[in-house]
Amino acid sequence: MPSRYLYLVRHGEQKDAEHGLPDGPLSKRGVSQAQAIAERLGDVPFTGAWTSPLQRARETARIMTERLPSLTPEPSALLMDCIPSGPAPDMPHAFEPFFGAITEQEIEAGEAQMADATGEWMAPSREDRHDLLITHNFVIGWFVREVFDAPRWRWLGINQANAGLTIIRVRSAKPPVLITHNDLGHLPRELRSGLPQEQPY
C-alpha cells in the first residue's frame, strides 16, 4: 500500500520574537536549529518540499537546502501562519482569551487555508512520497488535530518547538498515523526553544 509521509518542521527561532514582531530573520540559535534539522533529515528521499512564504520559514528552508542541495522548497501560501479555526461551544473556557484580539476575517481566512492545505497534503498518493513542509506552530497543530479527527478547536495546546519534527503517514485505505510529534532528538538542550513555557527536557 503506497504511503505519503509528511515531515512537518517548525521554522527556526526568530530574532527578536520576544518583542512581538510579526516576522523577521532567524536568530543565531535559529540558524543552528535549521542546520541541525537538515542534518537529521539528510537521509530522507524527499519527493518534494514546500515552505511558508514568511521570512523566518524561508530562511529556515534556505539554510536547510545548503545542507540538502537536492531540495528546492517551493513557497506556498497554504503554509502561512494563521488561525485555523475559531472558538467553539465545547472549547474549554481557558482558551477564550486567546481569541480576544482576533477578527472574524482572520478566522475565516485561516479556516479556508487549512481546508485547502489538508486537502493538498493529507490526500493519499498512488506512490510512496516523502514531503517536507516548513511552516508554523498553529499549522502543524492543525495537521496533528486532523490525524485524530479531534474537535476543531483542539489545535490549541498542540505545540511544537522551533525546528521540532513531526511526521505523519497518510494511506489510502486506513486512517492517517502520527509517527512522531515535536521530536527534538537532533537539538541539544541549549538549542531548544519556542514552546510556551521552557521546560527541563
- Specify whether the CB–CB gap between 42 and 70 falls below 8 A: no
121: domain range?
3-191
pLDDT band at 17 (very low <50, low <70, confident <90, very high): low
What does R_g of the chain's alpha carbons equal in angstroms? 16
Looking at residue 1, what is its pLDDT? 78
131 domain-assigned: yes
Whether 198 has a pLDDT exceeding 80, the answer reads no
Whether 144 has a pLDDT exceeding 80, the answer reads yes
Report CA-CA distances (Å) from 155 to 18, 83, 151: 22, 10, 8
pLDDT band at 18 (very low <50, low <70, confident <90, very high): low
Nearest to 38 by CA among 187, 168, 198: 187
159 domain-assigned: yes
Looking at residue 45, what is its pLDDT? 95
Report CA-CA distances (Å) from 198 to 137, 166, 189: 15, 19, 11
201 domain-assigned: no
Q: What does the DSSP 8-state code read for residue 58?
A: H
196 domain-assigned: no
For the domain that residue 163 is a member of, what is the CATH number?
3.40.50.1240
Looking at residue 201, what is its pLDDT? 45
- Structural domains of the chain, count: 1
Q: What is the pLDDT of residues 67-91, one digit of tens each?
A: 998 899 999 999 999 999 999 999 9
Chain centroid to Cα 156, Å, comes to 13
Per the confidence metrics, is the pTM higher than 0.75?
yes
198 domain-assigned: no
